[in-house]
Structure 1
Amino acid sequence: MHTACVECGGVVAPDGHCWECGAVQPRYRAHIELAVKSGAAAVTDRGLRRGINADAMALLDADPWTIGVVCDGVSMSPRPERAAQVAAATASQVLATELEANTLPEAALEKAAARASQAVSALGTPESAPACTYIAGIAGESGIWTSWIGDSRAYWIPAEGPAILLTEDDTGDLDALSNWLGADAPASTPHIRSLHPTTPGTFVLCTDGLWRYLPDAESIRHQIADSPEQTVQALVQHALDCGGHDNITAMVIPWPGRRSAKEKGARTQAMGQTAKA
């Protein structure tokens, strides 16, 4: 279903302008919240200084997996918000399809990044290329996996033990991006990292509009609240309180998720009943 322009009733484009009359839509995609049954939650916010929200996210359950993708449109590129939206939507659907087909997590992540790269590259040419950063995270019963291109980040915040930054920024001199998705990108091969936790915790994905206000993994821990929904709201509010100079996206995936914990409990109970018999 297309969003209708507030001025003429026409169709609103992904950049928040009407295709027909060009009118800017008030607070288009300014603040979006997502949540899924496994307990994961996400918030993206335009921030206080940007005219549009060029961040995008996708969050879904693909039993027994939770899938999250976060993308940050590169502001110096044309239509960065379109690049981010296409990448997030494409990668999340590829991941769902591959994981439901029992593809290995690493292979699914590599294929999703490649397909997202192809989709974003198709939006332009090397001379005029919409671009975005990319990070995907998946959580299953045996652990968590992340893949990334650019400087969006993933963190693991365990209930016990030190918090960990799982990613390494694709940046060069003066923190300039050294890799991204787009027709002018140098490479589309993602970094991939997995972790098999021994204690429950929180898997966090975010854009630089958040992490630049939180200097290390332990500072992320200080924002962890009683629920994923409260945590993402607290993270985004922290960035806004610090000035909100960029678009802000935070995604929180609890591990194990509500569904996984319930299933594990049911299996343990069933095993106990079998042993007693």
Structure 2
Amino acid sequence: MSDNLAICPSCATPVATWEAFCEGCGATLTPTEVRPEEPAEDTPITRSVQMPGNSTVPDGPPLVRSCLDCGGAIDADGYCEQCGSKAPSERDHFAESPASWVGGVCDRGIRHHRNEDAMALSADPVPGTHSVLVVCDGVSSAENSHLASMAAAKAARGVLVAQHPVGMAVPESQIQAMSATFAEAVRVANDAVIAETDPQSANAASCTFAAAETDGDLIVFANIGDSRVYWMADSGPSLQLSIDDSVAQMNMAAGMPREEAETGPGSHAITRWLGVDAPDLMPTTGHLVRPGNGWLLVCSDGLWNYASDPDSLETVFARILLDKPEAVDPTILAGELVRWANAQGGRDNITAALARFGPLDDFPGHVRIEQASPVQPDESTPTVHTGPVRTGPEPRAADLPSDPVPDFAPQPTGSPLAD
């Protein structure tokens, strides 16, 4: 164990000596060291440039930043010109809006000292056509995970945009080709993580991976770790599309109720990840032919910690859209989801990336939302990353059944695809 690591007395998770709470179980810790100074690192991600296939990705100098408190302009010193609030760094809070129907927000949260989440988005201008949404969550107990997650997200986005298959008449061929591209995107993303890893590191940088690519009505998704992909339907069932690689998922597969599995000590240790010591780089993939209008969401556990099951998360969407009509804009809605997660405690970094399909004529007005009981996130302990699990054999995501879900269930790349 490195000089800057200790062990949580409650759950034995490795923790940094300057941390005030445990990533594994949420226990309060007593820091024994002051966190070393790190060079300031801003990653402005607010402007779009053209990429192959007419997709847009953020690049270039930042546009004028707005205050999160009052909406005023942020001056060159990082303070709001209107209310005087200190703005977070652009790595700690940033948004991407590559097209009118795609947007996302990535935020440090309240409790963490830096933002180790990352996202990278791309979209064609025409709504409902081609888009790419990538979210990576750096494992906080590993070194330089904030660098690794950003490098991985950008690298994966580059592959998914540049290698997007087109012109395939048979849907099955399109699905297979897009799934194969995800496997390549994960390989390249892993190389990017390794490039950000100190060869002498005793706790190498690592991160999760969750991504979705859309092509018309076809949604193909992939994940490694416990960042997630959801379908939030205007009518009909909302769905959790991805299957976590985590101890919690193993417990649910064994019959433990979701709430108990996701809130027990150490339950959210991940069993697969990106990094130099990654046990398996084959993502779990799946597809969904869009059943109607709705929202595609790719997010980190900093959001779903507080509303894990699709019904609860759908209720959060509905309330935001009812209270804030301008949240029909995906970037505004993503920001409101982040704001909501922070209001629940903000104990982890938070990322929400969204693609909108169809007009908002029906959402959030279907009966199930109106009758849903209020979300009670404070009744559960938020789940957070504990870092890689290295004891015993690592379970394969393909062997972990999900909660009962329709016939789109994710498949390991290369296995028979869902109908």
Could you state the TM-score of these two structures normalised by the residue count of structure 2? Answer: 0.54
In 1, the alpha carbon distance for the partners of 2:314 and 2:192 equals 35
- Which SS does the other structure have where 2:221 is aligned? strand
* 1:80 maps onto 2:145 in alignment: yes
8 Å CA contact retained: 1:139, 1:255: no
Select 1:27's aligned residue among 88, 94, 107: 88
In 2, the alpha carbon distance for the partners of 1:219 and 1:238 equals 13
* 1:53 maps onto 2:115 in alignment: yes
Could you tell me which residue of structure 2 aligns to residue 123 of structure 1? 196
Point out where structure 1 has 5 or more consecutive residues left out of the alignment. Answer: 1-10, 16-24, 259-277
Could you tell me which residue of structure 1 aligns to residue 77 of structure 2? none
Select 1:69's aligned residue among 134, 156, 172: 134
1:184 shift after superposition = 1.1
**One-letter amino acid matched to 1:48:** I
8 Å CA contact retained: 1:49, 1:246: yes
* 1:89 maps onto 2:164 in alignment: no
Could you state the TM-score of these two structures normalised by the residue count of structure 1? Answer: 0.80
1:138 shift after superposition = 0.9
The 10-residue stretch of structure 1 (201-210 or 62-71) with the greater mean CA deviation from structure 2: 62-71
**Root-mean-square deviation (CA), in Å?**
2.5
The percentage of counterpart residues that share the same residue type is 33
Q: Which residues in structure 2 correspond to 1:9-24 (within 5 Å)?
A: 12-13=40-41
- Which SS does the other structure have where 2:113 is aligned? coil
Q: 1:227 to 1:220 in 2, by over 3 A?
A: farther
The 10-residue stretch of structure 1 (247-256 or 152-161) with the greater mean CA deviation from structure 2: 247-256
- Which SS does the other structure have where 1:205 is aligned? strand
- Which SS does the other structure have where 1:253 is aligned? strand
**One-letter amino acid matched to 2:357:** W
1:14 shift after superposition = 6.6
Select 1:106's aligned residue among 161, 179, 182: 179
Q: 1:257 to 1:193 in 2, by over 3 A?
A: farther
Structure number with higher strand proportion: 1
**One-letter amino acid matched to 2:104:** A
Structure number with higher helix proportion: 1
Aligned length: 240
1:221 shift after superposition = 1.3
1:123 shift after superposition = 2.7
In 1, the alpha carbon distance for the partners of 2:282 and 2:358 equals 28
8 Å CA contact retained: 2:116, 2:349: yes
8 Å CA contact retained: 2:219, 2:289: yes
The 10-residue stretch of structure 1 (27-36 or 120-129) with the greater mean CA deviation from structure 2: 120-129
- Which SS does the other structure have where 1:185 is aligned? coil
Q: Say which structure, 1 or 2, has more relative contact order (CA 8 Å, 6+ apart).
A: 1
8 Å CA contact retained: 2:124, 2:130: yes
Structure showing greater radius of gyration is: 2
Point out where structure 2 has 5 or more consecutive residues left out of the alignment. Answer: 1-38, 44-85, 168-173, 248-265, 322-327, 361-419
Q: Which residues in structure 2 correspond to 1:166-185 (within 5 Å)?
A: 166-172=241-247, 174-185=267-278
Select 1:152's aligned residue among 212, 218, 227: 227
1:204 shift after superposition = 0.4
Could you tell me which residue of structure 2 aligns to residue 243 of structure 1? 345
**One-letter amino acid matched to 2:161:** A
8 Å CA contact retained: 1:83, 1:131: yes
**One-letter amino acid matched to 1:73:** G
